[in-house]
Structure 1
Amino acid sequence: MSNRRDFIKKTALGTAGVALGATAFSAKSYGNILGANNKVVLGSIGIRGRGKGLLDSFSKMYGDGVTIKTICDVDTQFFQERVQLAANNQKGNKPGTEIDMRKVYDDKDIDAVVIATPNHWHALATIWACQAGKHVYVEKPSSHNVWEGRKMVEAARKYNRIVQVGFQNRSISNVMQAMNFLHSGGIGDVFMARGTCFKPRDSFGISKDSTPPSTLNYDLWLGPATYRSYNEKKGHYNWHWHWDTGNGDTGNQGPHQFDIARWGLNKKVHPVKVQSMGGIFGISPTECSQETPNTQTSVLEYEDGKILEFETRGRYTNAEANAGVKIGNLFYGTDGWMEISGSNWKAYKGRENEPFAGSGMAEGAAVGGDQTFRTAPDSKGHFGNFIDGVRSGNRHDLNCDVEEGHMSTVLPLISNIAYRVGETLKFNGEFEEFIDNETADLMLTRRYRYPYIVPEKV
């Protein structure tokens, strides 16, 4: 996009008009060309569950100068339906289709890509995109393992690309307001954050290995993951519950609440210690191929002693806190506590049972003393924020730049490593490696399958 802008500027011959070949443009027409350069052309990679939602949302921005030119998926099953979805939102403008994302990256007309692949593809897809000069919106978690997440940050910086991670809470006004409240001392010094992921997950069964469906390019689907025979219970969506491709619910829904917890604690560094325990309860391993735990408790400690707790419950459970929090966050401070459920929040002073501040209440309401909190700015939403960042070319305009996303993604990833190793681990945040634990260090990365290799030097 910057090349087109530079071209237009270099060919300007004056304010009265521009001559390109035999065609003359008035100053007004020249202004229209500059306006056209604000258009953002997208490729949408991964179009099933979450990918369908992103495709719908971004194609609805057609009136704001955003166009989905190409949709891409390794499974052609939904091509026709998704093309029509985008066309309906784009006044009949139908996107093309591709199976291999590299074909999308080769298209010079495409400014940015939206990535909603399985987790094990997030890093390589993002790095390839940056190398091809594309900006990136990538879903959470930003990466499948810690090492490749750092490579994503390096690629974004090296190629000066805008990379936004899909932690949508960063762009929700009420959540932004809650964070402003915490950071301004609304409940005193926040010493503990708790995230919850209580989502019912029943057995999805077990099946024998088989031949991939004719619509699926299985080699591309596997990509960087270790080769394994096709199995329908380890493929679409169920990939979440197998370590080679997913990260369990702690690394699926969990990253959103880990992100809010870290944000509320105002931590811009990694924790120094992590422990995690749990298991698969209520589901027989002979009846389901799930590898990741459906019940898991993780505790992370920062250098100053502050604590981040996280709990995953996939079986029968009650909710927590006054708001009935199942997927949300709790914060504990020296003067009180706060609950966040979805986009709503309430704060309680000391041991009082009635909230003294929260979403929908007046700015600074009943905070007491000289404390006040700022009302969050109006938000265009996470997708609009990404498009604004692409247009400005300034990563600081993003609500969740790739490094911010990486910092939060590390939390569930190292929690899962502690669970798998079965030990309390010490973490060196500066080098993003464990201290005196080679087994855990090996899980910070993976052995990549040729040719889908995340490079050491991006």
Structure 2
Amino acid sequence: MTNRRTFIKKTTLATTGVVLGSSVISAKSYRNIIGANDRVVLGSIGIRSRGYELLKSFTSMYNDNVVVKTLCDVDSDLFAERLKIASKNQNGNVPGTETDMRRMFEDKDIDAVVSAVPNHWHALSAIWACQAGKHVYVEKPSSHNVWEGRKMVEAARKYDRVVQVGLQNRSIPNVMQAMEFLHRGGIGEVFMARGTCFKPRDSFGISADSKPPANLDYDKWLGPASYREYNEKRGHYNWHWHWNTGNGDTGNQGPHQFDIARWGLNKKVHPVKVQSMGGIFGISPQECSQETPNTQTSVFEYEDGKILEFETRGRYTNAEAPLGVKIGNLFFGTEGWLEINGSTWKAYKGKETEAFAGSGMAEGAEVGGDSSFRTAPDSKGHYANFIDSVRSGNRFDLNCDVEVGHRSTVLPLIANIAYRVGETLRFNGEFEEFIDNEEADLMLTRKYRYPYIVPKNV
């Protein structure tokens, strides 16, 4: 827990205001904030798309003594609209703005940062923040490659920072309930988990390279990634489908369901084997610059023989299981099976077709006479869990510590490597490297572009 901020110490509250970005909170208003010593001051990095949703959520916590002081993005056109919503949610208090996250990290008033930058920036933004003494909420996947993900964990531990990864299912009561049900033997021993990402996506087209728009600092946007000329079809959101900046849908939506699959299997180690195959179907490479597969099947094997399957379908498809699972999970045990669709779950015994347990069911959700599964556990949500953990300064209070997020992120990352090299790969989890495959090992990291270099020693 950090002490009261410098800007509070330097301000005489009885006669002056507290400056927040470009706005002023009156002394009277400040006294009305509950628990001023527990105030959490945030910086928000990346405010487009997912970042906009996070901004709305965290600024809505203003009455819970959470303040977003600064917005940071390399696209200056985003500020006007984002400042409006931040001001509305924060009772008229308008954050300041930055286009360089390093300037934000220099601000001693800021306790923690919320990072929703593109995947290739996740690791470096989090490491820089930890080095500056900030706690971090970082979106999934936790990193763009395996090596830099491990560096994030090292930085969090070295600087004793709370780092939460945005795998929000870890804080959803019904999902938490389903995981506990599995771990207590609700369907016997779970021997296989399946994750699905069925998201039909059409071609986003192709265009020629061009000069970046004046409102975009392209050098900072590219950051650690290899240099490529600006192309609008590789920019906003479309960066997901190019290897230089993204990880395809297997590494986009996928991490959420990979995380649930690993969680349900109760695996706190990496798999020992991975294979993945697929391709781009229904979209012509002459009409779209997409590089990542839109159809991909990946299979992982753990040392004890248990299996994790994952399927990405980017074209038109049916759903699976009675709940109509498209973005969800299935678990198979020695005594039955379980399905999760969003926050809804149902479990089935043996060959029975009627669920005997599930979310919202008043009867039957018992294991060995334990009826605690009839009520989902309490949860204030993923964002509130992060804020509470920042206040306590205790990483063990987190629902998804960076180590947890990293282990779930490794799964789609090594699946993509297996897909790209076209081989079944053996993986040494202790050292996070492949066994006897130099080509695959090279893809565990990347060549970083100066000065946006993930350091070997964080």
> Does structure 2 retain, via aligned residues, the 8 Å contact 1:180–1:373?
no
Match for residue 39 of structure 2? 39
Describe how 1:157-306 pairs up with structure 2 within 5 A: 157-306=157-306
Match for residue 23 of structure 1? none
Partner Cα separation in structure 2 for residue 263 and residue 129 of structure 1: 28
Query: How far apart are residue 325 of structure 1 and its match?
Result: 0.2
Match for residue 95 of structure 1? 95
Q: C-alpha offsets along residues 172-203 of structure 1, whole Å, 9 cap, x if unaligned?
A: 00000000100010000000000000001100
AA of the residue aligned to 2:209: D
Query: How far apart are residue 377 of structure 1 and its match?
Result: 2.2
AA of the residue aligned to 1:37: N
The DSSP-based 3-state class of the residue aligned with 2:35 is helix
Partner Cα separation in structure 2 for residue 390 and residue 65 of structure 1: 12
Query: How far apart are residue 362 of structure 1 and its match?
Result: 2.5
Match for residue 331 of structure 2? 331
> Does structure 2 retain, via aligned residues, the 8 Å contact 1:204–1:233?
yes
TM-score by length of 1: 0.93
> Does structure 2 retain, via aligned residues, the 8 Å contact 1:171–1:381?
yes
Q: C-alpha offsets along residues 3-51 of structure 1, whole Å, 9 cap, x if unaligned?
A: 4399x9xxxxxxxxxxx9xxxxxxxxxx999931200000000000000
Describe how 1:273-422 pairs up with structure 2 within 5 A: 273-362=273-362, 365=364, 367=366, 369-370=368-369, 372-374=371-373, 375-422=375-422
1:74 correspondence with 2:74: yes
1:411–1:274 distance in 2 versus 1, CA, 3 Å = same
Partner Cα separation in structure 1 for residue 275 and residue 257 of structure 2: 18
AA of the residue aligned to 2:381: G
1:224–1:360 distance in 2 versus 1, CA, 3 Å = same
AA of the residue aligned to 2:223: G
AA of the residue aligned to 2:85: L
Partner Cα separation in structure 1 for residue 172 and residue 259 of structure 2: 13
Match for residue 440 of structure 2? 440
Partner Cα separation in structure 1 for residue 372 and residue 312 of structure 2: 31
Partner Cα separation in structure 2 for residue 106 and residue 32 of structure 1: 28
1:353–1:96 distance in 2 versus 1, CA, 3 Å = same
1:154 correspondence with 2:154: yes
Partner Cα separation in structure 2 for residue 285 and residue 338 of structure 1: 39
Partner Cα separation in structure 2 for residue 210 and residue 40 of structure 1: 42
The DSSP-based 3-state class of the residue aligned with 1:271 is coil
Query: How far apart are residue 369 of structure 1 and its match?
Result: 4.8
AA of the residue aligned to 2:264: G
Partner Cα separation in structure 2 for residue 378 and residue 269 of structure 1: 27
Partner Cα separation in structure 2 for residue 54 and residue 395 of structure 1: 21
AA of the residue aligned to 2:213: P
RMSD: 2.0
Match for residue 139 of structure 1? 139
Partner Cα separation in structure 1 for residue 298 and residue 99 of structure 2: 38
Structure 1 segments (4+ residues) deviating >3 Å: 3-6, 31-34, 366-376
Query: How far apart are residue 256 of structure 1 and its match?
Result: 0.1
Match for residue 27 of structure 2? none
Partner Cα separation in structure 2 for residue 5 and residue 242 of structure 1: 41
Partner Cα separation in structure 2 for residue 218 and residue 229 of structure 1: 9
Partner Cα separation in structure 1 for residue 306 and residue 227 of structure 2: 41
The DSSP-based 3-state class of the residue aligned with 1:250 is helix
1:430 correspondence with 2:430: yes
AA of the residue aligned to 2:192: M
Query: How far apart are residue 78 of structure 1 and its match?
Result: 1.3
Match for residue 119 of structure 1? 119
> Does structure 1 retain, via aligned residues, the 8 Å contact 2:174–2:377?
no
> Does structure 1 retain, via aligned residues, the 8 Å contact 2:331–2:339?
yes
The DSSP-based 3-state class of the residue aligned with 1:164 is strand
1:269–1:372 distance in 2 versus 1, CA, 3 Å = farther
Unaligned runs of 5+ in 1: 9-19, 21-30
Match for residue 457 of structure 2? 457
TM-score by length of 2: 0.93
Q: Which moves more between the two structures, 35-44 or 122-131?
A: 35-44
Partner Cα separation in structure 1 for residue 183 and residue 427 of structure 2: 26
The DSSP-based 3-state class of the residue aligned with 1:4 is coil
The DSSP-based 3-state class of the residue aligned with 1:337 is strand
Partner Cα separation in structure 1 for residue 3 and residue 35 of structure 2: 15
Partner Cα separation in structure 2 for residue 387 and residue 197 of structure 1: 30
The DSSP-based 3-state class of the residue aligned with 2:176 is helix
Match for residue 18 of structure 2? none
Query: How far apart are residue 77 of structure 1 and its match?
Result: 1.1
Query: How far apart are residue 296 of structure 1 and its match?
Result: 0.1
1:33–1:327 distance in 2 versus 1, CA, 3 Å = closer
AA of the residue aligned to 1:328: G
Match for residue 58 of structure 2? 58
> Does structure 2 retain, via aligned residues, the 8 Å contact 1:167–1:259?
yes
AA of the residue aligned to 1:125: S
Count, aligned residues: 438
> Does structure 1 retain, via aligned residues, the 8 Å contact 2:328–2:342?
yes
> Does structure 1 retain, via aligned residues, the 8 Å contact 2:386–2:398?
yes
Partner Cα separation in structure 2 for residue 145 and residue 366 of structure 1: 40
Match for residue 86 of structure 2? 86
The DSSP-based 3-state class of the residue aligned with 2:250 is coil
Q: C-alpha offsets along residues 403-435 of structure 1, whole Å, 9 cap, x if unaligned?
A: 000000000000000000000000000000000
Partner Cα separation in structure 2 for residue 169 and residue 215 of structure 1: 35
Partner Cα separation in structure 2 for residue 366 and residue 393 of structure 1: 36
> Does structure 2 retain, via aligned residues, the 8 Å contact 1:240–1:246?
yes
Partner Cα separation in structure 2 for residue 278 and residue 77 of structure 1: 38
